[in-house]
Structure 1
Amino acid sequence: MKYTFPENFWWGSAASGPQTEGAADVDGRKPSIWDYWYTKEPGRFFNGVGPANTSNFYYQYKEDIALMKETGHNSFRTSIQWSRLIPDGIGEVNPKAVDFYNRVIDEMIAQGVTPFMNLYHFDMPMSMQEKGGFESREVIDAYATFAETCFKLFGDRVKHWFTFNEPIVPVEAGYLYDMHYPNVVDFKRAVQVAFGTTLAHAKAVKAYHGLKQDGKIGIILNLTPSYPRSQNEADLRAAHLADLIFNRSFLDPVTLGEFPKDLVELLREKNFLPEYTEEDLVTIKENIIDILGVNYYQPRRVKAKEYMPHPDAPFVPEHLFDNYEMPYRKMNPYRGWEIYEKAIYDIAINIRDNYNNMPFFISENGMGVEGEDHYRNHEGYIEDTYRIDFIKSHLQWLHKAISEGSNCQGYHLWTFMDCWSWANAYKNRYGLVEVNLDDNYKRTVKASGKWYKTLASENGFEA
C-alpha cells in the first residue's frame, strides 16, 4: 500500500542548540545550568561526558545543512541558546551570537530548509537560575524579553517559532525526581515552576503577535497518552489523573487558555496551588498558540495504587497512581521504552476532537539505539533498518489520523545527527547521520538518512 501525505508536508528533524552546537565557552557564551552542574557533579553525567563540545554544529553548520538537504529535509527545528544570545540572561545582546544564528538561518534558507526556531530547550542560563528560574517574576520577564529580542533579530526570515520544548520535563526532572539541576524534590515548587513557565510562554506569544511578523508561534509538548490497565473505575481514575498532570497541565492552557478544572481542584485540595494574579490568568487566556508541536516516544500505562505512600514522603504524582508494565509489550531494549505506534493516532484524534482540531505536527519521534557500530555494512555506513521500520510504523498510524480529518502538517524525527543528551551523553544514537567523535566529528549518512530522502521526495512510502 502507498501512504501519501498532504501537499507541502513538513519532512525534517529536530535538535537543540545545547545538544549540538558545542563551543560552550566560546564567543561570549556563558554557562547554562548544564555547564554549571557538570563542574559540580560530573559523576552525574554518563561516562563523565559533559556539555562542552556536543556535536560541533557551531563550526560544521554549513556541512550539516548541506546534509539536511541531502537527506530530504524541507524543514528543521533547532533552538537559540539564551545563554549565547544574552549571556547574562538580561541586558547586552552578544553580537557574535547574532552573527552565528544569522549565518545558520541564511544557510538553511539558501539550501531550501525552512527554519523552525525554538527558544528554550531545558537550558536555563545559570545567572537566571540563581535568581530563581521560572519561580521568579524577574526571570519570567527576562525570558519574554529574550523571546522578543529573537523575534526582532530573526523574525524577518524565521516564520515558525516555538517558545518551549517539553516544558513539563524541567518541572519533573528538576523539581520532582532529582534528574536535572537544580535537583529539587518539592511538588509545590514544581507547580510554581510550571505556572511560571506557562506565563512566560504566554508573554512570548503576546510579544510575537504584537509584532505582526506574518508567521506562527507555538510550543512543543511531549504528549504521552495515559492508558489504564483496565476499564475498572479505579484504573480509569488513575489514567485521568496522570493525563491531567503530565499532558493537560500544559496542553489545555496553551490551546484553550485555561487550566483543567479537575487539576485545579486537585492542587487546591492538596494545598499546592501556585501564587498567581488574575492578570496572569488573563494573559494566559488571551494568548493561545497558532500551531502545536507534538513529541511522542512512548505511552504511559497506569493502574490504581496498590499501596498507599508513606505519610511523611514528599508528594510526587505517583502517589495518585502506579505505573503499569503491560505484559508482552513491544520494547526498544536499548532505551527501555515501549514501542506503541497507535498512540500517535490517539494523540492526533484527541487534538482533533478536544482541541479544536488545532494545526499540529509531529515535532519529535525517534529511536535511540546503543552500539550502532555493530550495524555498519561493508560500504562503511550504518544499516539502521530498525529505524526505518520504526518511522514507517508510526507514519502508518499518523496517515490514518490525517485521513480521518486530523490537522497534522508534518513529521520531524529526533534527530538529524547523533547528538549529546542530558543524562546519556552519546550512549543512545538517534540520528539519520552518524557523528564519529573519534574522527573529528566526521559525519556519515546512515541507511535511514538515504531512505528519508526518498520518503520526502515521494511525499510518502510503500508498505
Structure 2
Amino acid sequence: MKFSDDFIFGGATAAYQCEGSTLEYGKGKVSWDDFLAKQGRFKADPASDFYHQYGQDLKLCNMFGINGIRISISWARIFPEGTGRINQEGVDFYHRVFQECHKNHVEPFVTLHHFDTPDVLYQKGDFLNRDTIHAFVEFSKYCFEEYKDEVTYWFTFNEIWAVATNTYIEGTFPNGEKYNMTKAFQIMHNMMVAHALAVLEYKKAGYNGKIGVVQSLEYKYPFDENNLDDIQAAKNEDVLQNQFLLDATFKGYYSTETMEIVNRLVSINNGTLELLDEDFDVLKQAALLNDYMGMNYYQSRFIQHYEGENDIHHNGTGEKGTSRFCLKNVGRRMEKEGIPRTDWDWLIHPESMFDMLVRIRQQYPNYKAIYITENGMGYKDDFEDGIIDDEPRIDFIRRHLEFTLKAIEAGVNVKGYFVWSLMDMFSWTNGYNKRYGLFYVDYETQKRYPKASAYWYKRVSETKEV
C-alpha cells in the first residue's frame, strides 16, 4: 500500500516550546514563566526562536516535502491577561506566519491551547474555574474570525490528559499536585466542555473550515493477560487516560463502565465531580460535529495490579530506568521483556498505535477522521560537523508509518501524520537535551541543520511509500 496523494506529511510545533520571546512584543505571562524561573534549570527563551525564524523553518518544510505544520496560537500573545485587552502585535505575528505557510505550500493546522493558559487565569484555577471555560470560548471566537481566510484546520486543545496528569497526578507542571484523582477528572471534563462550546461557536458561524481536538492516547495492556486483576488494572488506567476523554469526544457522555471506574477513583480522594446537565447538552451536540480527532501517540503501557501506596517518579533527565508510576487502586506500569525503551523510559511499541486506531474505529464508529498529530522519538542527537545521523529516529518513524498504513488498510480513516517535532525545541520538563526534531537547532546561533531523518522523511513524502 501507498499513502494517498492528499495525505499530510507534517511536522508539529507548539508556541511556548519554539517561539521564544516569551515576554516580548506585548505577550502576557503564562504559568510556565515563573515556574521555570523558580526552578532555575532552563527557560523557554529563546528556544528555537520561531518568532524570528519562522520564515526559515517554513522554507525548510517546502524544501523537504513537509506539506502540513501544527502551530499553536499563544493565547497570552493575543490576550495578555486572558480576556479584555488585545495585543495587536501578537495578532499580526500570526497573520505573517500563516501567510508564510501558504507561500511555502504548507497547510497550517492550528491549535488554540497547548499547555499555556494565560497566568492571570491560571492563578484563578485554570480550567477548574468555569470562568476560564468562557474566556477560552471568547478567545477561540476571536481567532476563528480573525484568521478565517488563512486557517482551514483547527484544534481546540492539545493533550487534555497531559494537563490533568502532569498537574494533578504526577505534579510536574506548574502548581502541580500529586495523586489527586478528583481534580484530574474535573479538569478533563471542564476542558472538554470548553472544547464543545468552541466547536458549537465555530459551526454556528458557518466558517469554511474544520475543527476537532487533540487527545494523547496510550494503549493499556494487562501485564499478564491471563490475570484478572491485571486486566482490571489495565482497564482502570485506560479509563483514566483514554476512555473518559474518548467518550466525551465521540459520545458526548460517559458510559456506565467509564463512570463506575471514575466514581471509584474519585472516591479515593473523598471527592465529588461537578458534571452539570448543561455540560452534557453541549458535549452531545459537539460529538456529532467534530470533523476529526488528532491523536498524539508515543507509546503503550503494560499495567500490573497494585495494592501499595502511590509512588511516581518522572524521568526528566534521560537517565534510563529511573521512572516509576504506581497509582494506588489503579495499577503499576511495568517493563515488558523484548520491548525496547528510549532513554526517557518510553516504550518503543508501534503495533500498539495500530491497536488504538482500530479500537477507535470499532468502539466509536461515529468518528469521521483521525490525524496522528504527534509521533516521534526523543533522542540525544550527536552533532558532528553538521552531520546528524539519527537512524534510531528513522526506524521509529518508519515502523509507526508502517502500522499507520496497516490501520488504513483495516479501514481506519487516517488523513495525516505529523512528526514531533519539526525542529528541535524546548521540552516542558526536560529542557534541551531531549531532541525530537527533523532539523537540528544550534541554540546559540539558531542555525538549522537537516538530520538524516529529514532526508528520509522527504523521500517518504514524495513517494508516498515507507
Task: Give yes or no for the alignment of 1:394 onto 2:400.
Answer: yes
Question: What secondary structure sits across from 2:61 in the alignment?
Answer: helix
Give the CA deviation at 1:273: 3.6
Task: Give yes or no for the alignment of 1:148 onto 2:141.
Answer: yes
Contact 2:47 2:443 in 1 (8 A): no
Question: What secondary structure sits across from 2:59 in the alignment?
Answer: helix
Distance 1:220 1:183 in 2: 22
Contact 1:14 1:414 in 2 (8 A): yes
Give the CA deviation at 1:193: 1.4
Question: What secondary structure sits across from 1:64 in the alignment?
Answer: helix
Task: Give yes or no for the alignment of 1:29 onto 2:35.
Answer: no
Task: Give yes or no for the alignment of 1:280 onto 2:275.
Answer: no
The residue number in structure 1 matching 2:18 is: 20
Task: Give yes or no for the alignment of 1:102 onto 2:95.
Answer: yes
Of 437, 456, 461 in structure 2, the residue corresponding to residue 456 of structure 1 is: 461
| Paired amino acid for 1:324 | M
Distance 2:98 2:109 in 1: 9
The residue number in structure 2 matching 1:45 is: none
Distance 1:323 1:341 in 2: 18
Give the CA deviation at 1:126: 0.6
Deviations 1:172-227 (A, max 9, x none): 11112211111123322222212211111111111111111121111111110001
- TM superposition score normalised by structure 2: 0.92
Contact 2:309 2:327 in 1 (8 A): no
Question: What secondary structure sits across from 1:358 in the alignment?
Answer: coil
Of 181, 185, 188 in structure 1, the residue corresponding to residue 182 of structure 2 is: 188
The residue number in structure 2 matching 1:292 is: 293
Give the CA deviation at 1:404: 1.4
Of 164, 168, 181 in structure 1, the residue corresponding to residue 161 of structure 2 is: 168
Give the CA deviation at 1:117: 0.1
Of 382, 402, 406 in structure 2, the residue corresponding to residue 372 of structure 1 is: 382
User: How much identity, in percent, do the aligned residues show?
Assistant: 34
Give the CA deviation at 1:29: 0.4
Task: Give yes or no for the alignment of 1:84 onto 2:80.
Answer: no
Distance 1:141 1:58 in 2: 28
Distance 1:274 1:372 in 2: 48
Distance 2:55 2:114 in 1: 22
Of 162, 178, 184 in structure 1, the residue corresponding to residue 171 of structure 2 is: 178
Give the CA deviation at 1:397: 1.2
Task: Give yes or no for the alignment of 1:320 onto 2:330.
Answer: yes
Of 358, 362, 369 in structure 2, the residue corresponding to residue 349 of structure 1 is: 358
Contact 1:11 1:73 in 2 (8 A): yes
The residue number in structure 2 matching 1:336 is: 345
Task: Give yes or no for the alignment of 1:40 onto 2:38.
Answer: yes
Distance 2:148 2:363 in 1: 31
Question: What secondary structure sits across from 2:109 in the alignment?
Answer: strand
Give the CA deviation at 1:156: 2.0
Deviations 1:82-139 (A, max 9, x none): 1111111001221101110000001101111001000111111110012211011111
Contact 2:31 2:118 in 1 (8 A): yes
Task: Give yes or no for the alignment of 1:215 onto 2:209.
Answer: yes
Distance 1:273 1:9 in 2: 44
Task: Give yes or no for the alignment of 1:66 onto 2:65.
Answer: no
Distance 1:382 1:158 in 2: 34
- TM superposition score normalised by structure 1: 0.92
Give the CA deviation at 1:318: 4.2
CA RMSD of aligned residues (A): 1.5
The residue number in structure 2 matching 1:430 is: 436
Give the CA deviation at 1:317: 4.6
Please list every run of at least 4 consecutive aligned residues from structure 1 whose deviation after the TM superposition is greater than 4 angstroms.
none
The residue number in structure 2 matching 1:121 is: 114
